[in-house]
Structure 1
Amino acid sequence: MPEQDPMTTGQEKGLAQASRGAVERAGGGGGAAAPVRRSLLPAPGQGFGVTFGQMFKKVTTEQYPETPKVTKPRYHGRHVLNRHPDGLEKCVGCELCAWACPADAIYVEGGDNTEDERYSPGERYGRVYQINYLRCIFCGLCIEACPTRSLTMSNDFELADDNRGDLIYTKEQLMAPLLPGMEAPPHAMRLGEDEKAYYVREPEQGSPAEPVTAERA
């Protein structure tokens, strides 16, 4: 193996490597053979063939917003903060949803419940809850992190607005509506025959406090 000349500069080495590469591409270096064309049409003709093939297909036109768009049952839309059957909030202010959010779109401040002022069955509740829909990517990681199934996602996707401030939803905008038999908190817990069965529902039983569209993703 010949010894390299220490006086050879980096520029000269680069020119030598480029010349060797040009020879290999020209076929002198035993490189890979050029791909074989399997069509008799020239390349532009093949490209226009794809275009003409699409021109004669039926066009699908959706009459939106006159005809509302029907989404899938597990569609990731606007978030909902659910309630217990007596109206108490399921959110306990643990902030796990904010920690799980990859876009840092959720802001939560927890507060302490008292016997005179109770918003949730636990020791704490979500005193401040905000979701910035300018950042939200609707990935659903927040609802997977929620330990009480308080946060779910609805099928509402019409969130466009002309004011950036209006796209930061507050707790009042995210809370599920009060259904018949519910009372707006704060109020005391209404324990049934079994406290666990009342405030912790099995998945197959469902909960009257949760909207039908608020499926867990």
Structure 2
Amino acid sequence: MPDRAPDRAPATSGGEKGLAQASRGGEVERSAGRSAAPAPAGRRSLLPAPGQGFGVTFAQIFRKVTTEEYPEVPKVTKPRYHGRHVLNRHPDGLEKCVGCELCAWACPADAIYVEGGDNTEDARFSPGERYGRVYQINYLRCIFCGLCIEACPTRSLTMSNDFELADDNRRDLIYTKEQLMAPLLPGMESPPHPMRLGEDEKDYYLAATQRGETP
């Protein structure tokens, strides 16, 4: 009779060998990780754990309490605080907004709605060819990120320090152009009126640069 081959394990495929090697490697890594884990640090205090917890509470009793008497005493915000928006004017009273709608496109919350209108010689609201005929900001959506400020090419839209925007009516939190426009300062004339600072809009932006503003 021919000699029988010695008993051996059945042949395995390459994939099964790889899984077996990976499982063995994982076991080695886990065992190495367990051995390399640092020992828990010993407690340095002789007080029991509840006593340490109440110690933090008792330590706060002797600290000075900061009390803000709002709304009797208005809160002072930081100079660069992002609050309610303002539509600015040129020194002669014309609006800086040219109705380009870039602020509405840049708004990630879709909180700004703008409709542009054309200026005429009889009714001029801004130095450019167009002006913001309709301007609305929905403060139920606004996240005060300031991207609309960065997108404005004429520095028309800025943000004030006014943060008191709470209301119990959703309709009242949609601010219109009349609510957002900056007030008329002494020497300003309410538009529409002809341009006072120069013959075209370039004179307005040049004058703004000379005053240190960003057009």
Instruction: Give the TM-score normalised by structure 1.
Output: 0.76
Root-mean-square deviation (CA, aligned residues, Å) is 3.4
Structure-2 change in CA distance of 1:141 and 1:29 (3 Å): closer
* Residue number in structure 1 paired with 2:35: 30
The answer to whether structure 1 residue 85 and structure 2 residue 95 are counterparts is: no
Deviations 1:163-200 (A, max 9, x none): 01100101110001112222221221113499745444
- Count of residues paired in the alignment: 197
Q: Is the 8 A contact 1:81 1:152 kept in 2?
A: yes
Deviations 1:16-41 (A, max 9, x none): 99xx79x95xx995251333135224
Counterpart pick for 1:106 among 112, 118, 141: 112
Structure 1 unpaired stretches of 5+:
7-15, 208-215
Q: How does 1:58-69 map to 2 (within 5 A)?
A: 58-69=64-75
The answer to whether structure 1 residue 126 and structure 2 residue 169 are counterparts is: no
Structure-2 change in CA distance of 1:29 and 1:78 (3 Å): closer
AA aligned to 1:163 is N
Counterpart pick for 1:146 among 141, 152, 176: 152
AA aligned to 1:32 is A
Shift in Å, 1:201:
3.6
The answer to whether structure 1 residue 186 and structure 2 residue 212 are counterparts is: no
CA distance in 2, matches of 1:29, 1:175: 66
Shift in Å, 1:159:
0.8
Structure-2 change in CA distance of 1:63 and 1:166 (3 Å): same
CA distance in 1, matches of 2:73, 2:135: 33
Bigger proportion of residues as helix? 2
Which aligned runs of 4 or more in structure 1 are off by greater than 6 angstroms? none
Counterpart pick for 1:157 among 163, 180, 192: 163
Structure 2 unpaired stretches of 5+:
1-10, 16-22
* Residue number in structure 1 paired with 2:172: 166
Structure-2 change in CA distance of 1:192 and 1:203 (3 Å): closer
CA distance in 2, matches of 1:172, 1:196: 26
Deviations 1:93-150 (A, max 9, x none): 1111112212221111111112222111101111111111111111212111111010
For the residue of structure 2 that corresponds to 1:172, the secondary structure is helix
**71-80 or 35-44, which deviates more:** 35-44
CA distance in 1, matches of 2:111, 2:33: 59
For the residue of structure 1 that corresponds to 2:56, the secondary structure is helix
CA distance in 1, matches of 2:193, 2:64: 59
AA aligned to 1:143 is I
Q: Higher RCO, 1 or 2 (CA under 8 Å, sep at least 6)?
A: 1
Instruction: Give the TM-score normalised by structure 2.
Output: 0.77
The higher radius of gyration belongs to: 2
For the residue of structure 2 that corresponds to 1:48, the secondary structure is helix
**184-193 or 94-103, which deviates more:** 184-193
Shift in Å, 1:54:
1.7
